[in-house]
Structure 1
């Protein structure tokens, strides 16, 4: 079983809200809204307007399928390579969660639900904000090596996001290379502040010098999974309705 969340940005305040969950189990896709969908400015997806229902399909829903590049497009191989994925093991939900499934026509992103594997919390993501860096910082990003260690720092004086988590090099200069995607900030901060944990690893998976900045730096964060830890934990991630009606589409 694998799950991802659909998050939506309210353009009025720039905040991201989890509005739905997509799960694949034994080849069957299940889509349900979360409590975050109660936001007054959020409109349900077309043909899935009833927030109290669970929508089931043997095929990936068109809303998500349209966020993936067709395999016959030249760009598909580039995205696959940038995301450190292989055609033989390609997974639609993995691709959506790593790239975010972003489209210029709306304010939605897809993020993975972290899974407990071998007592570890592990997530992969592209570092955000590289396009806003100084030239010297971008040059340093381009020279990062595969497996190179980075570190996170809290940037609580950030005027745009008080929960911002900054990524830097580990050398004396501690050069800024970007930010953790803001929808993972709460998890990262909770894990880094957990006194039971001895540390974490933030390593470079791949640097794509020829790629646009949103796909430039792919990283992986990992640490031990504390006992009782619940990832992405807020009321907005919970199912919209306890006793949902199932609709096959």
Structure 2
């Protein structure tokens, strides 16, 4: 399991519960050397987030409470088990946990996704849309094993998003690439890349935690 990550930038998005469309809110960054966190809003945003003044870049030595509360506390008995579902070491840094989990919360529709830098791509993400699969397709996830090759397939006929990209196993649907990651995944698909199973979690973990995959390749500038 990994304990370190090169991810230093996370895109914070707000998902519309009715249309499932994602709207960028801002960027959460981490400077390991200065040991600081910063949050910057996108210029077009008019509705701010709790504890983060709109129109400002906020810097702090600790992770902002809005995001920190999305991480399982080390004091909880199920802490190690929760990180194991994400294929993370119990000592993983909070920023890495957010990058892997998406930071979903029952109290809002915010999600966080990594913003990879150009160059070698080493990206792990939870597959979206598992709840919308057929029963047979969800059962196929049960048969997957870590390291098993998967494939990415554009779905231009998707009625909700013509840019959608499917995660498939021998042509069978397993779910979708998270919408905020498409601007990184689509360019990587144009070059040599490998998509493999990182971890399959039991149904009790929830639809959004069922399948963790690993994409290796190259992200052009």
Which TM-score applies when normalising by structure 2?
0.88
Q: Secondary structure at the match of 1:137?
A: helix
Counterpart of 1:30 in structure 2 is 38
Matches of 1:179 and 1:16 in 2, distance apart? Answer: 14
The answer on whether the counterparts of 2:141 and 2:174 sit within 8 Å (CA) in structure 1 is: yes
Q: How many residues align structurally?
A: 212
Question: Alpha-carbon deviation of 1:12?
Answer: 6.0
Partner of 1:157: 157
Give the deviation of 1:181 after TM superposition. Answer: 0.9
Considering only CA atoms, is the larger Rg found in Structure 1 or Structure 2?
Answer: 1
- Cα distance in 2, alignment partners of residues 11 and 141 from structure 1: 26
Residues 81 and 21 of structure 1, relative CA distance in 2, 3 Å threshold: same
1:208 paired with 2:201, answer: yes
Match of 1:186 in 2: 183
Deviation at 1:17, TM superposition (A): 1.8
TM superposition score normalised by structure 1: 0.79
1:43 aligns with 2:40: no
| Cross-structure match for 2:3 | none
Structure 2 residue runs of 5 or longer lacking an equivalent are 1-5
Q: Distance in 2 between matches of 1:106 and 1:126?
A: 19
Question: RMSD of aligned C-alpha atoms?
Answer: 1.8
Consecutive unaligned residues in structure 1, runs of 5 or more = 230-249
Cα deviation, residue 13, structure 1: 4.4
Contact 1:115–1:122 under 8 Å retained in 2 = no
Distance 2:71 2:135 in 1: 31
2:217 to 201, 223, 234: 223
Change (3 A) 1:14 1:208: closer
Task: Return the offset for 1:72.
Answer: 2.0
Note if contact 2:14-2:23 (Cα within 8 Å) is conserved in structure 1: yes
C-alpha distance in structure 2 between counterparts of 1:46 and 1:222, whole Å:
35
- Preserved CA contact (<8 Å) 1:32 1:54: yes
